[in-house]
Structure 1
Amino acid sequence: MAISISQLIPSPTSPFCLNLTPFSLNPKIPSSTPTPPHLNVLNHYRRRKATSLHRCSASSFSEKHHANSPKSDDIVELPLFPLPLVLFPGAILPLQIFEFRYRIMMHTLLHTDLRFGVIYTDAVSGTAEVGCVGEVIKHERLVDDRFFLICKGQERFRVTKVVRTKPYLVARVAWLEDRPSPSADVDVDGLANEVETYMKDVIRLSNRLGGKAEKDVGDLRRNLFPTPFSFFVGSTFEGAPREQQALLELEDTGARLMREKETLKNTLNYLSAASAVKDVFPSSPSSSSSS
């Protein structure tokens, strides 16, 4: 569901990407956001192994929010970053801040609680009303007053009212938490294990298609409870931000895991078909032509 603040967002200028390179706060919002035939789970997995910044463990993000987390019925004011990406609880987001109004905001945040709201926007669907708090865990201020930030996703929120638009957006937000599944028959822990299995199969098949050596994928769940694991899985669906937004908005862990399972199953079917075609029509070795 879109809210009316989309027209308040200026036309951005830098490219969309969610990786470990600094992300500009002037993102270029494409006219449409294509969903690739299969999700970029493999690239996210490789980055997760390569850096501890993407490591999300039970010790760093438990099933419940941390002790000083806001209550779900609290209404607070939060500065907002509308961006063409989706931040999940427990995920890491690097940012580069150079636009003047956001530098103003950073100066304010550095003297308060270092928390702001990341909320998804694009030119087609507008600005979402559900986002995720980003907490600054590392920052570097450069001599030209730009900032490099490393942020970590915390609580989810829903925008209830925009209270200020200049120099940057500020909104009243209500906190979101997953509710117990309406069906007592849903085994969320079993679902989480199924999702992990599908993820491993997708990674293995992607490696095979890419000509990578067969090797054990390892433990993807890392003792995470089902809810934070479902957020981790959603964060790997890079290239499909609208699907990520739908996952972020769900307030039922079981429903989120079921949707992720279906997405991974479809991805695996696509990769299996591509692998079968490759087996039937293997690429011929390149050779130089001569006359």
Structure 2
Amino acid sequence: MMMHTLLETDLRFGVVFSDAGSVAGVGCVGEVVKHERLVDDRFFLICKGQERFRITRLVRTKPYLVAEVAWLEDRPPPPGTAGAEGEEDLEALASEVERNMKDVIRISNRLNGKADKDGAAAAAADLRRGLFPTPFSFFVGSTFEGAPREQQTLLELEDTGARLRRERDTLRNTLNYLTAASAVKDAFPSSLSSPPAT
């Protein structure tokens, strides 16, 4: 029912995190950019995330949630950091986050036995793709698959600098873990890679 309504209107809908019956107060608009109806009346969708919202009032909960919302935007930098200096801090943070992401990808590839060329490609990749710090911070959060609560926390932050700092810290922790795992792997090579002792 929701899909039929969606496809007859503007192809936009709200997405909110739900866990054990509780619904998060902040969500994101999803826009259907491609859809295909399957034979069993289900749909294959490709969606793109858009602006964020805060639920102000639930209108109904069945057959799907309908809510009144207020749009969310990141707050501007505090007074005294506006202008070039504040922007420079966000640029520096975004660059640091990108470097940490590249290192995580490189070491993950190494641990997973991918060729060194994959690590070199990851190090050379332009992960930011020309994105300004705010949209880049949302892109980084989207890569934290398997950690929906952390993604929700990042989505709810209304400060680009705070979001980038949290992502930097998460990536640093991941990098420390991967570096330690790599050292253990180097110190104790897998018995599968060496012939059995006779």
Structure 1 counterpart of 2:108, one-letter code: S
> Deviations 1:25-79 (Å, cap 9, x if unpaired)?
xxxxxxxxxxxxxxxxxxxxxxxxxxxxxxxxxxxxxxxxxxxxxxxxxxxxxxx
Structure with the largest fraction of helix = 2
In the alignment, which of 236, 240, 265 is matched to residue 147 of structure 2? 240
Structure 1 Cα separation of the partners of residues 58 and 177 of structure 2: 42
Structure 1 Cα separation of the partners of residues 41 and 121 of structure 2: 45
Structure 1 counterpart of 2:172, one-letter code: K
Structure 2 Cα separation of the partners of residues 267 and 120 of structure 1: 24
**Aligned counterparts, 1:1-291, within 5 A:** 104-123=1-20, 126-182=22-78, 184=81, 186=86, 187-214=89-116, 215-217=120-122, 218-284=125-191, 285=193, 287=195
Change (3 A) 1:121 1:166: closer
Structure 1 Cα separation of the partners of residues 26 and 40 of structure 2: 33
Matched residues, number: 186
> Deviations 1:182-220 (Å, cap 9, x if unpaired)?
261651011100000000011111111112112221111
Structure 2 counterpart of 1:162, one-letter code: L
Structure 2 counterpart of 1:237, one-letter code: F
Structure 2 counterpart of 1:204, one-letter code: R
> Deviations 1:154-196 (Å, cap 9, x if unpaired)?
0100001011122221000111001112261651011100000
1:289 to partner: Cα distance = 8.2
Structure 2 Cα separation of the partners of residues 170 and 202 of structure 1: 39
Structure 1 counterpart of 2:35, one-letter code: H
1:278 to partner: Cα distance = 1.2
Structure 1 Cα separation of the partners of residues 42 and 179 of structure 2: 46
Gaps of 5+ in 2: none
Structure 1 counterpart of 2:110, one-letter code: R
* RMSD (Å) for aligned C-alpha atoms: 1.7
Counterpart residue number, 1:45: none
Which portions of structure 1, spanning 4 or more consecutive aligned residues, are displaced by more than 2 angstroms?
142-145, 284-290
1:288 to partner: Cα distance = 6.2
Gaps of 5+ in 1: 1-103
Structure 2 Cα separation of the partners of residues 206 and 141 of structure 1: 37
Structure 2 Cα separation of the partners of residues 165 and 276 of structure 1: 51
1:119 to partner: Cα distance = 0.3
Structure 1 Cα separation of the partners of residues 30 and 15 of structure 2: 6
1:245 to partner: Cα distance = 0.5
Q: Which has the higher contact order (CA 8 A, sep 6+)?
A: 1
1:130 to partner: Cα distance = 0.3
For residue 216 of structure 1, give the secondary structure of its aligned residue in structure 2: helix
Structure 2 counterpart of 1:216, one-letter code: A
Q: Out of 139-148 and 163-172, give the one that drifted further.
A: 139-148
Structure 1 Cα separation of the partners of residues 171 and 48 of structure 2: 25
For residue 121 of structure 2, give the secondary structure of its aligned residue in structure 1: coil
Structure 2 counterpart of 1:171, one-letter code: A
